[in-house]
Structure 1
């Protein structure tokens, strides 16, 4: 009786044991043994272990922005922008969301131009003696006293407007640095349990627009290959229906996946705990708003920091209590390691030292414009700003920027 595999074609039968061993060795050489593959970390896992916590980047950038609110010295503000730009250039990951830094720089330049344009057209409350040009003044009615259109444009008024606009522009650029360095999906995943639903909603909103654009591009390319119009009202109408159908299918799939994973299930929390959570969260957010207003205004410098700290403490306590009603786990949570503490501490050090410099030597951090004088760079506040460069040396280099050895 012939063997069971005798009826098989020759191409489907193993040639010889040596060939099997060679093929097995090739497969092992390509992927490694099972034990080696299990022990060797994958690139994605290695990248997640080496990546910095996104919250540390935001705290560092917000601290630099807070330091920018303490001075109008253009040299110090330029140094703050240079520090943030250097860190972004050296540590920005190669991802589509990290390209937003240029948009924030353009927005900051637009703020400068608009502020200078308004000062030129509407005048400035700063008196000045150095007249640059005189525009035709439009007469206004009596009820518009204090407002003028045109008139004399002085160097003192433009300088004051430039200093004030540079402060806001620096703050915008620091926020842009945080957007370019911190992964938004990982940041939203690291939200407290009390904000879990909001984080999921934001993630869905962030992923909907890119998928919609990709669907439109894919359908337009398919219509061009078939020789059909992809522009105009007709092309838009014929592309819109498949795009909406794809969006509906993704929404149904997402809803099914969320339901299968138990999304929306909450634990039983007593009524006193719910009331305490609501009171702490609301009071903490109001305290944060009042403290931030105090920090940004000269009149609230005395109460700004205590109210801000009390508000942050109350908000954190409220979010911690609110997270008790959410029964969920995190897959590969981002760890707050020693590097995250160092990055946060470097930004906080810059902010604290500039607060101290503004209290001890306000003239150096706020150069005068009446009479008009050239700004000077104070040495130890400038050295304090350079502390913000620490993340460029202690954080890992983005994976795509590492060159393979030849």
Structure 2
């Protein structure tokens, strides 16, 4: 009679060990003190609004500085979080297209600075291009001429800031589908939210369609690159976008989209006054925060405008009854992700209020940029989602 097989764990070196096995054996104190984030599923999926608040917070940081070191740090943080928490859904593959668009914007900005000149005066001449003579009515505009190092560096800083903003928006599109935000919007913003969602989902769906059609053409042995392949792929992509729009309109009509409840005229007028007045106060408060002379009236106006807008949205939601099927929960991890983006946006703002010249390196005269300590630490807080957000489930 054969002896019973030994069913003990015979894992070879390098084999992944589950957390349950580590806990059962008593080994691995790090697993007890530093627990990993749970695997993502339908019940614990991170709220889409948390991802967008995180990305907008880092984008606000990028819009407040022209320091290339700080902008490069923002890009590095965003890329790391996307690589750690991006799913394998087709719409999440649009991040590479946003990165390519950001590089194209940076290249165009530099090309314009070289060919059309820059308004920044400079003394260090890099090269002199042949200048095209222009008529007298085109004074202030030139084509060609002297290219200075100061003008090129200024264009580099400005283009890098815009490229960083595009990368932050691409990260939000890749980590959370914008359509999920539609379920969380208040009833007063439902119509505007549908338009915004359709606009935001155009790029991910377009890229997914292009990838799908190019793969199909490769399987059939047809060219998928060059001008010919682009022309033959472009028409089916446009047809698919039109079909999605028609299907969306039919689905909205079938679900009773646009149905409203009668409300008193006084409620409608109060809603309009609160919403429009609150938005005007928010704009004035934001302008006060962005200027040096508005630090006194900016925060109170911003808070009062936000409160008025929220009250107007609550009143406006009474005329648009909607039910939510399996709404996304806003849990502790969503608060951590959103708070990390808010901290990354607020702390550099406070550093700028104290006159930190490191956020805007001097171009005339040229000086080497220095990485500011506190803004850099605030940007590093944007790495929190890489550890707090649930881990995407790998395909089986």
Query: For this structure pair, what is the TM-score category when the shorter chain's length is used for normalisation?
Result: 0.7 to 0.9
Post-superposition CA distance 1:161-196 (Å, at most 9, x none)? 111111111111111111111122211111111123
Change over 3 Å in CA distance of 1:158–1:255 after alignment to 2: closer
- Aligned counterpart, 1:369: 363
Equivalent residue in structure 1 for 2:331, among 326, 337, 362: 337
Change over 3 Å in CA distance of 1:122–1:307 after alignment to 2: farther
- Within 2, Cα distance between the matches of 1:92 and 1:243? 25
- Aligned counterpart, 1:187: 181
Decide which structure has the larger Cα Rg and report it. 1
Aligned residues: 337
- Within 1, Cα distance between the matches of 2:241 and 2:375? 55
Equivalent residue in structure 2 for 1:66, among 60, 67, 80: 60
Report the TM-score, using the length of structure 2 for normalisation. Answer: 0.74
Measure how far apart 1:249 and its partner are.
9.6
2:121 touches 2:364 (CA, 8 Å); kept in 1?
yes
- Within 2, Cα distance between the matches of 1:179 and 1:377? 29
- Aligned counterpart, 1:42: none
Is residue 102 from structure 1 mapped to residue 87 from structure 2 by the alignment?
no
Measure how far apart 1:292 and its partner are.
4.7
- Aligned counterpart, 2:26: none
Alignment of 1:143-154 (within 5 A): 143-154=137-148
Change over 3 Å in CA distance of 1:243–1:344 after alignment to 2: closer
Deviates more, 1:359-368 or 1:345-354: 359-368
- Within 1, Cα distance between the matches of 2:289 and 2:364? 25
- Aligned counterpart, 1:175: 169
2:66 touches 2:158 (CA, 8 Å); kept in 1?
yes
Equivalent residue in structure 2 for 1:283, among 277, 282, 291: 277
- Aligned counterpart, 1:320: 314
- Within 2, Cα distance between the matches of 1:245 and 1:162? 38
Measure how far apart 1:245 and its partner are.
12
- Within 2, Cα distance between the matches of 1:330 and 1:349? 31
2:292 touches 2:353 (CA, 8 Å); kept in 1?
no
Alignment of 1:27-176 (within 5 A): 47-176=41-170
Change over 3 Å in CA distance of 1:250–1:131 after alignment to 2: closer
1:189 touches 1:199 (CA, 8 Å); kept in 2?
no
Alignment of 1:257-406 (within 5 A): 257-259=254-256, 263-292=257-286, 305-400=299-394
Measure how far apart 1:254 and its partner are.
3.1
2:40 touches 2:390 (CA, 8 Å); kept in 1?
no
1:80 touches 1:385 (CA, 8 Å); kept in 2?
yes
Change over 3 Å in CA distance of 1:176–1:291 after alignment to 2: farther
Query: Which ranges in structure 1 are unaligned for 5 or more consecutive residues?
Result: 1-44, 225-230
Post-superposition CA distance 1:116-164 (Å, at most 9, x none)? 1111112112121111000112222332222222111011111111111
- Within 1, Cα distance between the matches of 2:164 and 2:388? 24
Measure how far apart 1:285 and its partner are.
3.1
Measure how far apart 1:247 and its partner are.
7.9
SS of the residue aligned with 2:324? coil
Report the TM-score, using the length of structure 1 for normalisation. Answer: 0.72
SS of the residue aligned with 1:135? strand
Measure how far apart 1:381 and its partner are.
2.2
- Aligned counterpart, 2:15: none
2:40 touches 2:392 (CA, 8 Å); kept in 1?
no
Measure how far apart 1:283 and its partner are.
2.5
Measure how far apart 1:94 and its partner are.
1.7
Deviates more, 1:170-179 or 1:278-287: 278-287
Between Structure 1 and Structure 2, the one with more helix by share is: 1
- Within 2, Cα distance between the matches of 1:66 and 1:334? 26
1:69 touches 1:296 (CA, 8 Å); kept in 2?
no
- Within 1, Cα distance between the matches of 2:58 and 2:246? 44
- Within 2, Cα distance between the matches of 1:201 and 1:69? 25
Query: Which ranges in structure 2 are unaligned for 5 or more consecutive residues?
Result: 1-38, 221-227
Post-superposition CA distance 1:267-321 (Å, at most 9, x none)? 3321111111112222333344445555566776665554444433322221111
- Within 2, Cα distance between the matches of 1:252 and 1:142? 53
